Structure 1
Amino acid sequence: MSMDFENDNASGLRPLAVVTGGSKGIGFELAREFAEHGYDLVICAEDVGVLGEAAQALSGLGPDAGSQVRTVSADLSTYEGVEQLAGELQALGRPIDVLAANAGVGVGGDFARETDLDDELHMIELNVSGQVHLIKRVVREMVERDRGQILITSSIAGVLPGPREAVYAATKAFLRSFGHALRNELSDTGVGVTVLMPGPTETEFFERAGLEDTRAGQMNKDDPAMVAKAAFHALEHDRAQVVAGVKNKVQVGMAAAMPDTAKAAFHGEMTKPAKE
């Protein structure tokens, strides 16, 4: 499968990128990358205020300073929230050139003794169910047009079983497996799928997941803008997977040669409280 990354809409409209979790962190930087490369945007998150700030920062970017940004406030951990976003996308009457399925959260702590079941089920609903639901709604139209790109944000945790973030790491392993399988299914079409695998990144992830006091939480982290640039470059070249950052590439390469027990022990050292 090969395709030009730039849009060739007969209507002459700018290409359209949809970014979930697009108000902060990696999602916001992905949205910035698309805007600066001449895309109109739909960014989705829950917080209306933060969405508005993000839209203001992104509007007018690009070669002709003409990027237009539409916001959708929706809870993608719910069936209704995904349907709301899908409905608003359909109402635009425009083809989606890129879907960056980026929304996700983390939960940290000892599974048996510390974490809350409701938090973990909510995470599964957002990281897994919501992603599958939205991609299902978007990919069929892409296949009908024989054109489009899907970026799925997994994590290097997707290849490293994660003690003290056991369910989170499992959701990211699901997304990595799902993305590669979907790419294979679509190999006879003009639709590409790229799996993004960032490592620890300077976002609110560790604070929100309760992992600030861990070794990973206190180590130097990657710049989300760097991660987004690597993702955009991978999409341009229709890569199956992109691991952002040299250190993360080394860890993923090492993981390929390690048994799961060793990978879990290695990851567990990173998620221990820093004082241990």
Structure 2
Amino acid sequence: MSETSRPLAIVTGASSGIGFELAKLALDQGYDLIIAADEPEIHDVTFALEADGAVVSAVQADLATTEGVDRLYDVARELGRPVEILIANAGRGLGHAFLDQDFEEARRVVDTNIVGTIYLVQKVGRDMREANRGKILLTGSIAGFMPGSFQAVYNGTKAFVNSFAFALRNELKDTDVTVTCLMPGATETRFFERAGMLDTKVGQQEKDDPADVAKTGWDAMLRGDGDIVSGLKNKIQSAIANVTPAGLLAEQHRKMAEPASADEK
């Protein structure tokens, strides 16, 4: 099999966690890869992913910016091949009380999770619509179902992603382009460390395996499902969230995400 006969997939946020596991699944299923993240470690991941006959291109780019997304998209265009799968997984979290957060850090969460994500989806999605084929997988979260006390901006961005995915799917219903939203719960990744949430109940509890979460999302995408919540516990939690008053959800989230230092004030 020549390298140009393999379909092409883009996976963002692929340097670790769910994104890395999704990239492995794409590779195992015969895809060439463009993997992207804003960290230099993305180049190390290339060596971990490369397999016989596969091409893995790593792009270090700030996906919170349109310039970074343009750089990623240009790499795909330079290959001269259509993107068959887009996995928009890049995301950023931020814990602690909103009024105590540095605004630039909070804005970066918004720019990464929302602005950069929808910009990339629009650019690649237009190509897919023109070709009338392709699959888009967005990583939302069950956090999008509840007001995120001490994680307010992050939960808000995931509520946006969850909603956006359903809307885009409906807009494309008369095409052969599918949109799937993966909604994980707390997963064993570097997320909580990066978000400054290791001193919270959710940061210290047992979490889901990123490989299991990725497989759940990958299979749902291949089936063309609209959405999938990974894990029975998370399915139950999201179902309850849909019928629970927002004020009560916010209080429940506070118990999970309030840092230990806040109790001492």
Query: Taking structure 2 as the reference length, what is the TM-score of the superposition?
Result: 0.95
Q: Any conservation in 2 of the 1:22–1:28 contact (CA below 8 Å)?
A: yes
CA distance in 2, matches of 1:52, 1:73: 8
Which residue of the other structure, out of 135, 156, 171, is the alignment partner of 2:121? 135
Matched, 1:192 2:192: no
State the partner residue of 1:53: 44
State the partner residue of 2:223: 237
Matched, 1:174 2:174: no
Give the paired residue count.
260
Matched, 1:121 2:107: yes
CA distance in 2, matches of 1:273, 1:74: 31
Q: Any conservation in 2 of the 1:98–1:150 contact (CA below 8 Å)?
A: yes
CA distance in 1, matches of 2:247, 2:65: 34
Shift of residue 119, structure 1, vs aligned partner? 0.2
Letter in 2 for 1:38: G
Give unmatched runs, 5+ long, in structure 1.
1-10
Q: Please tell me the root mean square deviation across aligned C-alpha atoms, in Å.
A: 1.4
Q: Any conservation in 2 of the 1:218–1:274 contact (CA below 8 Å)?
A: no
- Percent same amino acid among aligned pairs? 48
TM-superposition CA deviations, 1:187-226 (whole Å, max 9, x none) = 0000000001111111110011011110100000011101
CA distance in 2, matches of 1:173, 1:66: 39
Matched, 1:25 2:17: yes
TM-superposition CA deviations, 1:220-262 (whole Å, max 9, x none) = 0011101110011101111111111111111001111112112
State the partner residue of 1:106: 93
Query: Taking structure 1 as the reference length, what is the TM-score of the superposition?
Result: 0.91
Letter in 2 for 1:59: E
Letter in 1 for 2:94: V
1:4-23 counterparts in 2 under 5 A?
A: 13-23=5-15
Q: Any conservation in 2 of the 1:31–1:41 contact (CA below 8 Å)?
A: yes
Matched, 1:145 2:131: yes
> Whose helix fraction is larger, Structure 1's or Structure 2's?
2
Give unmatched runs, 5+ long, in structure 2.
none
Matched, 1:272 2:258: yes
Matched, 1:82 2:100: no
